[in-house]
Structure 1
Amino acid sequence: MEESKSKDSGELEEASNEVHVSLDVVNSSATTNHHQQNDASANTSKFWDKERYGVRLIPKVPAFVRDKYNSDDYDPLVVSLGPYHHGHPRLKFVEELKPEILKSFVNHTSFHEQLLLNEVLKVINDLRGSYAKGSTDMFGDIVFAQMMLQDAAFAVEHIVEHIMDQLDPNNQDFSGDIRLDEHLGRGVMEHVTRDLYVLENQIPFWFLKIALHMRCGKREGDQLLKNFLNWSSFRSVQVDDNLPAPGHLVQEIRTVVIAGWSSFDHGWFPSSKRDYDRLRHREKAIILAKIRAHAEVIRSAALFQKAGAENYLPQVPQVPQVEGSSSMTKIIHSFHSVTELKSKGIHIRRSVTNSLMDVSFRSGFFFSTLHLPAALATVRTRSVYSNIIAYEMSPQNYEKDYTVTAYVNFFKSLIESPKDVKELQDKGVIKNMLGSDEEVVKLYKDIYTFGIDCSTVYSEVIEKIQKHYNSRARTWLADLLHSYFHSPWTAIALLGSILVIGLTITQAYYAIHPKGDK
């Protein structure tokens, strides 16, 4: 072991440069002009000053939200990552394990622990700049660097251990090393995954990726992270490596949740070639929609860098209006739950993909269909959505993209009772891992969306639903069927009433016109 770590000065310098090269790779993905800079190390501070296009501040959840709305959703339950919750008494159990986890992490790299610490100290100002002003002042440089190194190592070891075990339960990657599951147990490990997606419990994404590359190599490290994001979001997505690097894992899981083409890994396969072709068509449509929606932001970013105007603010792209409607009619709608829509002839179907953008409405003369992406209700769902929404509402959401907030609001409007949940389960839209349907209703009702509606994201769908809902020509047959044929007993009662009326009319006729009369 000691011999393998005894590298000559040239090898140490090469390894050190590799860290800076990794920083340069991450940085260059966030700005188009960074590749023109020759010295990545010398320009690191200059780059990170451009928060809009590089590392973003990891925001804190507003106090008024904590005071009123499920504050535990915004706090880690078992492990702290970063400075915001460091030292909390209830997290002490896992905190005491971190030094051993760091040793295990170091054993899988070509570095001494002290060399790693020295490298962290070189970017200490960048790390401090990732957090709210004053939140790291109580930590000296060495203490803060040690904390960030331990936290990154812990997150990496959790990701690697979990995915390696998923791929091969008998894997030997951890032979002779400390294993998290053996010290923490399965229950705590589930909470660790949940804590990785708490907004105030983040380490900078670029720092996490460099640590992952040190541990596994770049290609394998990137694939393990993608697998972990897919597993924890119940999706199967390949995130475009050419997109600007996110600031933290919450931002990255948000991208995965929105994009989520399909849950192939969880049994939601296309049922036919027609569905498969539709899946590919929807993928292209979603990609084009997102490109168009963000074209102005991308253009503004390029202008920002070209002009060098530090105070320049890009224009927020305007959502195009659907022809023949006002913006107010898109925001205000009178329809409510899934069962109410069904009573008006609007039936629910599962979308081929489970991208949050894959919400569509198909009109028919009497009956129409609303296609919704598949959703999984688990113990992590509320916390993950709550923290993604908190990010969308933060000043760090420079793109002003509120897709997840809009989706949760729209979905909440469809679920008012356990009957709605049952209908969604029957159609394959919801997979309930909580138990009762009442728990699913409560789950979505308890997700706080800051009082922001954001209906413009689904404005076209909402308008089409409202148009069908308001049309008496389309809803009269559905009303008739719902009122008299929604159960066998009402249908029998209706048919019985019709039969009685028919017999009464027949009897009255023959009473007035006896058979013998001519």
Structure 2
Amino acid sequence: MAEDAKVAREAKLAQLLNQTFDHNNQISSTPKIQRVPLFWRQKTNFYEYCIPKMISFGPIHHGNENLKQQGQHLKSQWASLYIEEYSKEVGPCNGNKQEAANYLYGVVRYKIGELKELFAEDVIEEYSDEELIWMLFEDGCSLLYYMDHVDVQRPEELKLKLDQLMHTWRDIELLENQLPIKLLQLLSKTQGADLDYLLINFMSMGEAKRSGRTTITITYTPTRNHILDFVRSFYLQTEIGQNIPNQNGGNQTPPPPPPPHSSLFWQTYKNIRDLKKSGIRVKANKSDPWKWHNITFTSRWFSGELTLPLWVYDDVTPYFFRNLIAYEMCPDFRNSFECCCFFSFLDSLVDDAEDVKELRSAGVIQNLLQSDQELAKFLNDIGHDLPTKMFNQIYTSNAVSFSKKYIQVRHQIEEHYSSGWRTFLAETRSTYFSSPWSLLAFLGALAALILAALQTWYTIHPPKK
């Protein structure tokens, strides 16, 4: 028995010592298309926002019977219309729709080995190569047609009603509904800028095409793993660890966090209302207003100014934000949790509906949800369990280097907020100078005090005759 136990133990030790990470565990800036991480799938109130409700693209939800009744029919129609357009616009096909279909199918078939490498093994293992080729061919053609013809002003272009257009547009941005950009490039009528144009047209819900623009100049270098990745890069558009505008208008490199005994180590303000009481006002950033890194703080004698990027919160936002969180937490995706950092920062400013009201009044947000309380709850909900929650407040880590900017802004706010004399001046200003009537009352009271003092003086020291 002892000998058998020894042999078994040595076999286990040998197996343990020979363990290595396989290629599926490699971290890269081009992650595979995969399911939402298990951590979030186990949270049903989170994962329900990651499941398509009307249409599926790709292998993960392809077998969902609830999506086949209408979604599959729409995809087949769009794919057919795209092939027809392709046959007319691409020279070698000469208007022959069958020839165009054979060519596009053949392109996917020829590249299927490379395309399979862009998916996690567990999401394609149940499909044969033939099934996968057909799925990617049909889904890719239909998605390209959708991107080209989406128009919130004319949903009939896609044979949809407005509500259907909104639901399909939302579903296409979900993490588990992505198709690789490489597939879209293979099926696209032209390469390069043409696909970027379609991506921007999709993001703007047809505004790019509706405005008559035939080309779009992109002033940054977007990432293009898939549509969700492209949209994410649009809102970030910044160098990791970039310099931060200081209070004098220059630039400064983010300093290390203060030591634990420093007062700046502890955050004493809780929300937007606390900042308002200390004279800090919030306003919309007019320079690149949609870029999430565009946050600054300026401290003055009597007040402070926190500028924040704009955002319109609507029924799509809870889906979009949660899928960005899930994407950044995919185990093979190398990133600095840029979106998670921004969401943590928002969570640190908002406690309840009153804080949302302050942001709305300042023109920073437009709330199209049912109430300010619903938006506050949403921001608080997504703030839980984020990997950036700790590093977005007092600690820094190169793994979340994007948060250094937010940490610096928070330290600037804390320095202003914890200044007793600034708070006193702000409260005095708010009490006595916030309106013309309070100012007049203050001046009247001051004049009365001066006159009373003069009267007392002359009573004690009457002028000599």
- Note if 1:322 corresponds to 2:302: no
Partner of 2:249: none
2:161 is paired with a residue whose SS is helix
Among 312, 323, 332, the alignment partner of 1:376 is 312
> CA–CA distance in 2 between the matches of 1:332 and 1:151?
52
Partner of 1:124: 112
Partner of 1:105: 82
* CA 62–146 in structure 1, closer or farther in 2 if over 3 Å, else same: same
> CA–CA distance in 1 between the matches of 2:162 and 2:35?
29
> CA–CA distance in 2 between the matches of 1:466 and 1:479?
17
What whole-Å deviation, never above 9, does each CA across 1:77-101 have from its counterpart, x for those lacking one? Answer: 1111111111212212111232222
* CA 49–404 in structure 1, closer or farther in 2 if over 3 Å, else same: closer
> CA–CA distance in 2 between the matches of 1:196 and 1:365?
49
2:331 is paired with a residue whose SS is coil
Partner of 1:313: none
Partner of 1:65: 40
Partner of 2:397: none
Among 423, 428, 453, the alignment partner of 1:475 is 423
Partner of 1:334: 268
What whole-Å deviation, never above 9, does each CA across 1:395-450 have from its counterpart, x for those lacking one? Answer: 23313x11211111111221223332222222221122335323322332232553
> CA–CA distance in 1 between the matches of 2:118 and 2:72?
22
What amino acid does structure 2 have at the position aligned with 1:364?
Answer: R
Among 155, 161, 166, the alignment partner of 2:149 is 161
> CA–CA distance in 1 between the matches of 2:281 and 2:437?
22
> CA–CA distance in 2 between the matches of 1:465 and 1:54?
34
Aligned CA RMSD, in angstroms, stands at: 3.9
Q: How does 1:232-247 map to 2 (within 5 A)?
A: 238=218, 240=220, 245-247=223-225
Among 111, 118, 123, the alignment partner of 1:135 is 123
- Note if 1:205 corresponds to 2:181: yes
Among 300, 311, 317, the alignment partner of 1:364 is 300
Q: What is the TM-score with the length of structure 2 in the denominator?
A: 0.73
* CA 391–321 in structure 1, closer or farther in 2 if over 3 Å, else same: same
Q: What is the TM-score with the length of structure 1 in the denominator?
A: 0.66
Question: Would you say the 8 A contact 1:388–1:404 is kept in 2?
Answer: yes
1:200 is paired with a residue whose SS is helix
- Note if 1:186 corresponds to 2:174: no
What whole-Å deviation, never above 9, does each CA across 1:162-182 have from its counterpart, x for those lacking one? Answer: 15x86xx6xxxxxxxxx8656
Partner of 2:7: none
Partner of 1:115: 103
What amino acid does structure 1 have at the position aligned with 2:288?
Answer: T
1:97 is paired with a residue whose SS is helix
Alpha-carbon shift at residue 371 of structure 1 (Å): 1.0
Partner of 2:409: 461
- Note if 1:412 corresponds to 2:347: yes
* CA 440–160 in structure 1, closer or farther in 2 if over 3 Å, else same: same
Question: Would you say the 8 A contact 1:258–1:357 is kept in 2?
Answer: yes
> CA–CA distance in 1 between the matches of 2:24 and 2:381?
37
> CA–CA distance in 1 between the matches of 2:177 and 2:353?
34
What amino acid does structure 2 have at the position aligned with 1:257?
Answer: Y
What amino acid does structure 2 have at the position aligned with 1:255?
Answer: S
1:71 is paired with a residue whose SS is helix
What is the identity percentage for the equivalent residue pairs of Structure 1 and Structure 2? 25
> CA–CA distance in 2 between the matches of 1:228 and 1:237?
15
Partner of 2:71: 94
Question: Would you say the 8 A contact 2:284–2:308 is kept in 1?
Answer: yes
Q: Which residues of structure 2 form unaligned runs of 5+?
A: 1-22, 87-92, 94-98, 209-215, 245-251, 393-402
Question: Would you say the 8 A contact 2:53–2:167 is kept in 1?
Answer: yes
> CA–CA distance in 2 between the matches of 1:324 and 1:55?
32
What whole-Å deviation, never above 9, does each CA across 1:302-337 have from its counterpart, x for those lacking one? Answer: xxxxxxxxxxxxxxxxx9751682489777522122
* CA 323–408 in structure 1, closer or farther in 2 if over 3 Å, else same: closer
